[in-house]
Amino acid sequence: MSERRVVITGIGCVSPLGNDLQSTWDGLKAGRSGIARITQLDPEPYECKIAGEVKDFLPDPYFRVPKDSRRSDRYVQFAVAAAKMAMTDSGLDVSTLDSRRVGVMVGSGIGGLGTLEREHEVCLTKGPKRVSPFTIPMMISNIASGIISMEHGLHGPNMVIVTACATSNHNIGEAWRMIKFGDADAFLAGGAESTILPMGLAGFANMKALSTRNDAPEKASRPFDKHRDGFVMGEGAGVVMIEELEHAKARGARIYAELVGYGVSADAYHLSAPSPDGSGPAYAIGMALKHARLNPEDVQYLNAHATSTGLGDIAETKAIKLAFGEHAKNGLMVSSTKSMTGHMLGAAGGIELIASVMAIVDGVVPPTINIEEQDPECDLDVVPNVAREAKVEVALSNSFGFGGHNASLLVKRM
């Protein structure tokens, strides 16, 4: 692996806790739930009536031409907003650089489901000639990355990886790899999602994947708790600017943390269930540590994928024990911020890497809320209910996707 080092110089996010970094991070530190009864549609016919919705979001200010926001699916609007925040935060001025050295990898696990639903209904009720000519470019999963490159004039590598709920981590990780290899000097990378929609709700609910704790939305997402009954859908975007270290230093950039490791693997086991022994994620974690030339005991905080499903949280606990050995129960803090945001699907890893970085920056580990009776099979230090002040030098973020896709990212204090 090349000795080129990669750092994080910009952060942008849109989440159920707020439409920027500060409000999202403040919400996570406060242990505040962003989950409530669904307002974007009438949830009454659905088994699950709750979600982590993005609130009071206005897309127009994030587009150079405001009307272009109305030609974009909601997931793209989130992606463009988060990317612009990350670009602004980084202070990177593309006009002073070779734009072919700045790339974009901002993916989506599902893509423009809202556009697909709406235009399919138009086709059936009004006829095929009434379907919008923007339908295809609005719904495809790569279009957010394309639009972000157009918005900022970025001519570098532009692509996306779609791996369900591991999408953000794979996009950030592969962008990291391209910078390490010398194909680019900087990337906007992460993920976005917006699927709190009839097909999304019905599809996940009929898999028996969603919580039905509709009478107490803020308590429904409870990773590692004995009484968890499924995940809660969330939406939003998390995008980071990652940059080659010397490139960042040459322009005097503020550096949040160094991205030092990236691990990938497959469970090769089941469409949606994790491999029960945790060996797949454990291998990804081990690979990230190997790339970083770090030992398990060097990691203080792990932001878990833990979605609040029965099988998933136990399998990840086993993976953490496999990867970290004695350190898993002796000094490693593990929390799931999905307890507050819900599961943001393809955007989850972006937001969770940001939480991991901010834990290093602020010296605060966000909690896992709604721990009332911790599952004895999830016997880790899950930072229950209240954030914890702690010096974090190294943090790891896990993301796993349907199909058995595993991806781990490792960040370190500079």
Over residues 206-240, the pLDDT tens digits come to 999 999 999 999 999 999 999 999 999 999 999 99
Residue pair 113/196 in contact by the 8 Å Cβ criterion: no
The answer to whether 291 is a known catalytic residue is no
**Mean pLDDT across 80-95:** 98
**Mean pLDDT across 307-324:** 98
The answer to whether 165 is a known catalytic residue is yes
Q: Which among 152, 247, 343, 405 is annotated as catalytic?
A: 343
Task: Summarize pLDDT for 5-55 with one digit per residue, the tens.
Answer: 999 999 999 999 999 999 999 999 999 999 999 999 999 999 999 999 999
Q: Give the domains, in start order, of the chain with CATH numbers.
A: 7-250 (3.40.47.10), 262-412 (3.40.47.10)
**Mean pLDDT across 257-274:** 95
Q: Which among 170, 247, 291, 305 is annotated as catalytic?
A: 305
Question: What's the pLDDT score for residue 273?
Answer: 87
Query: Going along 201-320, which residue ranges are E strands?
Result: 236-244, 257-266, 301-303
Q: How far is CA 269 from CA 46, 323, 403, in A?
A: 30, 19, 8
Question: What's the pLDDT score for residue 147?
Answer: 98
d(CA 143, CA 236): 16
Q: What is the pLDDT confidence band of residue 1, given thresholds at 50, 70 and 90? A: low
pTM of the model: 0.97
Q: Which among 165, 247, 378, 405 is annotated as catalytic?
A: 165
The answer to whether 152 is a known catalytic residue is no
- Mean pLDDT, the chain, rounded, equals 97
